[in-house]
């Protein structure tokens, strides 16, 4: 990392992220923010006119990049309690034959996580399930460890939220070796610059305890605010 005039690989970064995510190095693809990972997965799987499922309210880049990649966006809104409408997704799969299903988990804006039975119902569908765990640290749950074993599961993570490093643009996906191999073939070879890698490595090595402390305070404030609001008439 000392030689700023050299192109940089991800030989140090991928293992560091894999250790943090609790998976093997071979399950990790690192990108210029999770946005790049969204685009990469769509370019791997989609052909013109293919359908993708989005579950609004959600992250707008799922549908924006699907449109850029000439796909059809099938919206399956969340229920009034923000839970995923699994039945409606199942009917959409039968009707529209989507190749990709995007689910923010924990959900943004309400922060709820899909239960394990819901995730299992989604994984039983004939589509690739993409669980966006951008806020996983705040939800306390992750299925990233399953992604290396399940061929139709891809998990997105980021250093933008709990780590407070949105400006360095560092996201990654966890997937099985087949998907990782395809992604590594088509992604730009030097997509994560040396400055970003240096900052990310420093954070992962020295900043985890500070990050977890900040997350704990935020979750406590969230619980206090929720309880306080519930007492209002």
Query: Could you tell me which residue, 132 or 109, shows the higher pLDDT?
Result: 132
Helix axes of 33-45 and 61-68: crossing angle, nearest 10 degrees: 40
Helix (H) or strand (E) holding 33: helix 33-45
Q: Which two tokens stand for residue 151?
A: 């061929």
Q: What is the pLDDT of residues 152-174, one digit of tens each?
A: 999 999 999 999 999 999 999 99
Q: What is the pTM assigned to this prediction?
A: 0.93
Q: What is the pLDDT of residues 25-83, one digit of tens each?
A: 999 999 999 999 999 999 999 999 999 999 999 999 999 999 999 999 999 999 999 99
Closest to 158 in 3D by CA, of 176, 132, 177, 182: 132
Mean pLDDT of the chain: 95
Residue 17 — pLDDT band, cuts 50, 70, 90?
A: very high
Closest to 203 in 3D by CA, of 174, 161, 151: 161
Angstrom distance (rounded) from CA 106 to CA 100: 18
* Alpha-carbon dihedral 190, 191, 192, 195, rounded to 10 degrees: 70
Angstrom distance (rounded) from CA 17 to CA 123: 25
On whether the CB atoms of residues 11 and 147 are closer than 8 A, the answer is: no
- In DSSP notation, 79-99 reads -TTS---HHHHHHHHHHH--S
Residue 181 — pLDDT band, cuts 50, 70, 90?
A: very high
Q: Which two tokens stand for residue 134?
A: 């951008």
DSSP 8-state code for residue 187: S
Residues with Cβ within 8 Å of residue 59, at least 6 apart in sequence: 102, 104, 108, 132, 134
pLDDT of residue 2: 61
pLDDT of residue 92: 98
pLDDT of residue 131: 97
Indicate if the pLDDT at residue 3 is higher than 80: no
Alpha helix (H) residue ranges in 112-163: 116-123, 136-139, 144-147
For residue 106, report the phi and psi dihedrals to the nearest 5 degrees. -65, 150
Angstrom distance (rounded) from CA 149 to CA 173: 14
Indicate if the pLDDT at residue 1 is higher than 60: no
Mean pLDDT of 211-227: 96
């Amino acid at each position: 990392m000392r030689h700023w005039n050299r192109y940089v690989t991800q030989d140090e970064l991928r293992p560091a992220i894999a250790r943090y995510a609790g998976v093997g190095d071979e399950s990790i693809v690192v990108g210029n923010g999770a946005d790049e990972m969204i685009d990469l997965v769509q370019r791997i799987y989609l052909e013109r006119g293919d359908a993708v499922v989005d579950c609004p309210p959600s992250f707008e880049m799922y549908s924006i990049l699907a449109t850029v990649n000439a796909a059809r966006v099938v919206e399956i809104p969340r229920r009034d309690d923000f839970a995923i409408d699994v039945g409606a997704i199942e009917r959409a799969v039968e009707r529209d034959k989507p190749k990709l299903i995007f689910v923010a988990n924990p959900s943004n804006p309400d922060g709820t996580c899909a239960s394990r039975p819901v995730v299992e119902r989604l994984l039983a569908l004939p589509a690739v399930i993409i669980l966006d765990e951008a806020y996983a640290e705040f939800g306390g749950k992750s299925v990233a460890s399953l992604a290396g074993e399940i061929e139709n599961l891809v998990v997105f993570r980021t250093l933008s939220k709990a780590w407070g490093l949105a400006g360095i643009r560092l996201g990654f996906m966890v997937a099985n070796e087949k998907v990782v191999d395809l992604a590594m073939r088509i992604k730009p070879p030097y997509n994560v610059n040396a400055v970003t890698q240096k900052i990310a490595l420093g954070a992962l090595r020295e900043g985890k305890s500070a990050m977890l402390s900040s997350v704990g305070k935020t979750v406590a404030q969230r619980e206090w605010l929720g309880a306080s609001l519930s007492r209002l008439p």
